[in-house]
Amino acid sequence: MASYREAELAIRNLDSAPPFYLKVKFARSKFEKERIRRQRDDEEMLSRAVESEPYPLQSERSPFDSFRR
Compute the average pLDDT of residues 5-33.
89
Q: Is residue 31 very low, low, confident or very high in pLDDT (cuts 50, 70, 90)?
A: very high
> What is the model's pLDDT at position 39?
95
Three-class SS state of 7 = helix
Instruction: State pTM to two decimals.
Output: 0.43
Q: Is residue 3 very low, low, confident or very high in pLDDT (cuts 50, 70, 90)?
A: confident
DSSP per position, 37-63: HHHHHHHHHHHHHHHT-SSPPPPSSS-
* Whole-angstrom distance, CA of residue 41 vs CA of residue 35: 10
- pLDDT digits 0-9 by tens, 32-69: 999 999 999 999 998 888 777 676 656 555 565 666 55
Q: Where are the domains of the chain?
A: 26-53
* Whole-angstrom distance, CA of residue 65 vs CA of residue 68: 6
Q: Is the CA virtual torsion 56, 57, 58, 59 positive or negative? A: negative
- Count of CB atoms situated within 10 Å of the CB of 7: 11
